[in-house]
Amino acid sequence: MPEAPIARFKVMGFHVNVRPGFLMLCAVYLLLGLSRKDPLWSIASFAAIVFVSIVVHELGHALMCRRLKVRVSDVEIHGFGGHVMSAQTTARNQFLISIAGPGAGLSIGLPMLIPFLMMDLPPVAEVVVGQIVWVNVGWSLVNLIPMKPLAGGQAFHSIMDMYTDARQAAYITGVLGLILGIVIAVVGWQVGAVFLAIIGVYVAYNNFQAIQRSQRAFR
C-alpha cells in the first residue's frame, strides 16, 4: 500500500495527494543547495517552484483526461515527480494525455523567457524567474525524452501501440528507455552530476523491469 499522504487538497476538481517521498526530494534540493552555498531563500523558492510546477504538469495530464472523458481518480505528487491515476484508454488518447503535461509546463515557462532574457531584473527576481524557466522549460523538454517513466516515454509507447501489437510496443519502449537510462547514468557519472546519474540508473532499472514484465505477460 502507498504511504499515507502528508497533504491532500483539491484543485480544479481533482484530488491531489502529496506523498512523503516529496519531502525526500526537497531534502536532496536542500543538500545540493547548501553544497553550492546557495542562500536559504533561493533553496526555498526553488522547492516551492518545483512543487507548483509538478502540480501544473500533472493537471495538464488530468485536464486532458477530462477533455477526452477518461476517468481520473487522484493526482499523486511523490519523490520522482508525480503521476495521474486514470482509467485505461486508447493509444491515441494516451498520446494526447502524455504530451499535455510537458505542454502545461511550457505554457508557463516560455512566457517567462521574455523577462528573463530581455529585462534588467533585480537580483532576487532574476533568480526566481530563472528557476521558473529552468523547471518549466528545461524539465519539460527533458520530460519529452522517449523513455519511461517520463511523459515522452509514455507518448512513445502510445505511438508504438498504434502501429505494433501490445508485446512489441512494451518491449521496444522498454529497450529504448533502458539504453537511454544507461547513457544518462554514464554521462552524469562522467561529468560529476550525481543526481543525473541516479536518475539514469532509476530509469534504466525501471525499463529493465518493464522489459521483463512484457516478456512474462505475453508468453
Residue 196 in grid coordinates: 543525473
User: What is d(CA 173, CA 163) in angstroms, rounded to the nearest whole number?
Assistant: 13
How many H helices and E strands in the chain?
8, 4
Can you give the pLDDT of all 219 residues of the chain as single tens digits? 557 888 899 999 999 999 998 888 888 888 888 888 989 999 999 999 999 999 999 999 999 999 999 999 999 999 888 899 999 999 999 999 999 999 999 999 999 999 999 888 899 999 999 999 999 999 999 899 999 889 999 999 999 999 998 888 999 999 999 999 999 999 989 988 777 888 899 899 999 998 888 777 655
User: What is d(CA 166, CA 197) in angstroms, rounded to the nearest whole number?
Assistant: 30
**The model's pTM:** 0.88
